[in-house]
Structures are given as C-alpha cells and as structure tokens.
Amino acid sequence: MKVLITGGAGYIGSHMALELLDQGNDVVILDNLTSGSKKIVPSNATFIEGDISNLNLVQSIFDDHDIEAVTHFAGSVKVEDSVKNPFKYYENNSFKTLKFVDFLTKSNVKKLIFSSTAAVYEEKKSGLISESHTCNPSNPYGQSKLMCENIIRDLCKGTNLKFFILRYFNVAGADIQLRSGQIDENSNHLIKACIDCVLEKRKLIEIYGLDYDTDDGSCVRDFIHVSDLISGHLLAVEHLVKGGDSDICNLGYGKGLSVLEIVDKVKKISKINFTTKIVGRRSGDASRVVADSNKMMTKYNWKPKLDDIDTIILTALNWEKQKLKKNYEA
Ligand SMILES: NC(=O)c1ccc[n+]([C@@H]2O[C@H](COP(=O)([O-])OP(=O)(O)OC[C@H]3O[C@@H](n4cnc5c(N)ncnc54)[C@H](O)[C@@H]3O)[C@@H](O)[C@H]2O)c1
C-alpha cells in the first residue's frame, strides 16, 4: 500500500513513515518544512517539499503515485503561539485543511486519517475524557482543529472518502531505535523543555501555577509514547482498508501525571537537578486532561506497549543527546 503523509518531516508524521515502511508499505511525504526537517525523513520514503494548499502540487502527487490512504499530520501545533497569532492557526490548520480535504473528496483516495487533539474538549475537572465529552476548545489551536474535524465530517458526507479522526493527548518520547524524535527546537512540550534544561540548552523550567485543584497543585496531563500513538494509526488505516466506517477515537493511556511529577522524574532519570520557577497560570490551561481510550482498545484492539513514563523520558533524553552529538538540530 502507498500512503501519503502530510507533515511527515515532523515529529509524529516521521514516526508514522517509519512504521509504515517497517511494515513493507510505500510512503510519500508532503511537508513544507516550517517546523519539520529532512533529517528525520526516512531515506526510503519519497519526499516532496511543498504546502498542502498547493493543489497543483497535490494533484501531481496523485498523478505520479497510486495513493491508497492519506494520513494528515501537517499543521501548526503550539497552543501559546495560537493565542498570540490565531490567524496563522485558522489559516494553516482550518483553511488549508478545507482546501485539501475538498480536493481529496474529488480524488480516488478513499481513506483519510486525521491528527486531532484533546484540545478540542471542554475542561473536565475530574475523571477521564471520552469521545462523547463536549467539544469546546479553550484556545485557537483547539478551535482550529475542531474546525478541521467538522470540515472533514461534513465534506466526507455523501462521498466515498472515509475518515478516522484520532484525538491525541500529550505525545512524547522518541523512536526506540532513535531514528526519529522531536526535531522542532522551538517545541515547548514539557518533557522536551525539561530535557533542554538537563542538556543546558535552557536555564530553567517555568511551572505555570501551583494552585490548580489537583493533588500537588500543578496541571495533570496524559503522556503517550509516540510509537504507541502510531500503532493506533496503523489500526485506523487497517480498519478503513477493510472497508470500515468513519470513526473518532482518543489516544492516551488514561493515566494522569502532574507537571511536578514529570519534572521530578526527568531529574531522577537524568540525575541532573535543574532549576524550576513557579510563575502564574497560563491562559487556556485546563487543570486535568486525561484520556478515556477504552474505545480504541476495545473496538480496535489497540494495545499500547510503551505505557511507562520512564521509557518515554529515557527515549526522549537519548534522542536529544543524539541530536546534540550529531549536530542534528533543525
Ligand atoms: N505533539 C503533540 O503532542 C500533539 C498532540 C495533539 C495533536 N497533535 C497533532 O499532530 C500533528 C503533528 O504534530 P507534531 O507534534 O508532529 O508537529 P510538528 O510541527 O513536528 O509536525 C508538523 C509538520 O507539518 C509540517 N507542516 C505544517 N504546515 C504545513 C503545510 N501547510 N503544508 C505542508 N506541511 C506543513 C511541518 O513542517 C511539520 O513537519 C499536528 O496536526 C498536531 O496538531 C500533536
């Protein structure tokens, strides 16, 4: 099978490329390299530099390759940035997805996997968030992704294009063989930021609020290893290939870890006691975001294999060390 991966030069998309190639599939990557890098594009993938909204280019890809499924990872991904610059998010995520998916509905491709996010949900102060929880994003990033979901749902109606929307919780870690990992040095994911402190690329970690209604007062998140996230995508592709119906599923472990717990874990694993500074709350941060992924596990038999925070942190740490050694930064 030949799969088109938009955003395949980015953190998560590159892991999808590796997994599909490992399983004997062909991969075509379309990426404009705004936050991705050719350095993590597998050498046996076909790489095309360009934008998903360049429909002439997209048409030429479909002319040149027999694409069976599309996995759409391309997008702008930083919550704080979206608060400062909402236009960029509505344009790059929603508007360009509108154009791209409209194109797909008129093409021969019948399977679309879309990267969505837990940021589409309304805050839930306790318990796990299932797919039926109300969607009510608290920032432009989440809004832009929810708009993408609605666009996909509405445009696919009455066409042959089936979709599988996956809502990710906090994706972290790196490929066990260290073939890929986080490549965007501007990424402000918590674990990456802690590791940057360990490697002295950053002076300190700011903790945004210790007055949340959680056990230790810091925010609680559900961290999922990127390779487990990708195994969920493979099941989604398989489901659509077998003629299954469109669906939406969460991908997370259902385990909450607080910001303070993560900081502590990174310090223990790295044996480096970096500096932390408590600052005020950040706007748009929910106190607790933990997945109910029961649907993905029971309906699609998703079995996470790396559900262990030490493995997540260790693979991320080893990846960042390797990047430094190979002077690999994007
Ligand atoms: N990282 C997370 O924790 C997380 C959580 C939830 C959802 N997601 C979603 O997963 C997807 C991938 O995220 P990531 O963490 O790998 O981010 P990333 O920034 O590493 O990857 C995004 C890739 O898309 C490319 N890109 C951006 N706009 C493009 C465009 N218009 N045309 C072509 N290429 C474009 C970038 O160059 C980059 O390579 C995103 O859609 C994001 O919203 C990520």
Task: Give pLDDT tens digits along the chain (330 positions).
Answer: 999 999 999 999 999 999 999 999 999 999 999 999 999 999 999 999 999 999 999 999 999 999 999 999 999 999 999 999 999 999 999 999 999 999 999 999 999 999 999 999 999 989 999 999 999 999 999 999 999 999 999 999 999 999 999 999 999 999 999 999 999 999 989 999 999 999 999 999 999 999 999 999 999 999 999 999 999 999 999 999 999 999 999 999 999 999 999 999 999 999 999 999 999 998 888 999 999 999 999 999 999 999 999 999 999 999 999 999 887 755
Q: Is the backbone of residue 24 left (phi > 0), alpha (psi -120 to 50) or beta?
A: left
Q: What is the separation of C-alpha 198 from the centre of its chain, rounded to a whole number of angstroms?
A: 24
Q: How far apart are CA 232 and CA 107, in angstroms?
A: 25
Q: How far is the CA of 294 from the centre of ligand 1 (A)?
A: 25
Tell me, using a 6 A CB cutoff, whether residue 77 lines ligand 1.
yes
Atom of ligand 1 nearest to the CA of 118: 6
- Catalytic, 11? Answer no
Pick the CATH number of 2-173+224-251 from 3.40.50.720, 3.65.10.10, 3.30.565.10, 2.60.40.10: 3.40.50.720
Provide the pLDDT for residue 329. Answer: 57
- Give the residue, out of 73, 99, 293, with the most ligand 1 atoms within 8 A of its beta carbon, to mutate for a pocket test: 73
Element (H, E) at 47: strand 46-49
Provide the pLDDT for residue 273. Answer: 97
For ligand 1, atom 2, which residue shows the shortest CA distance?
171
What 8-state DSSP symbol labels residue 254? S
| pTM score, whole prediction | 0.97
Between vectors from CA 229 to CA 227 and to CA 232, what angle results, nearest 5°?
110
Q: How far apart are CA 144 and CA 135, in angstroms?
A: 12
- Give the residue, out of 4, 6, 12, 139, with the most ligand 1 atoms within 8 A of its beta carbon, to mutate for a pocket test: 12
Tell me, using a 6 A CB cutoff, whether residue 10 lines ligand 1.
yes
Q: What count of other Cβ atoms lies within 10 Å of the Cβ of residue 105?
A: 16
Are 226 and 171 in contact, with CB atoms under 8 Å apart? yes
What 8-state DSSP symbol labels residue 257? E
Tell me, using a 6 A CB cutoff, whether residue 285 lines ligand 1.
no
Which residue ranges make up each domain of the chain?
2-173+224-251, 190-221+254-325
Are 283 and 141 in contact, with CB atoms under 8 Å apart? no
Q: Give the bridge partners for 121, in sequence order.
A: 135
Q: What are phi and psi of 170, to 5 degrees?
A: -85, 110
In this structure, which topology does domain 190-221+254-325 adopt according to CATH?
UDP-galactose 4-epimerase; domain 1 (3.90.25)
Residue from 125, 138, 111 nearest 25 by CA: 111
Tell me, using a 6 A CB cutoff, whether residue 142 lines ligand 1.
no
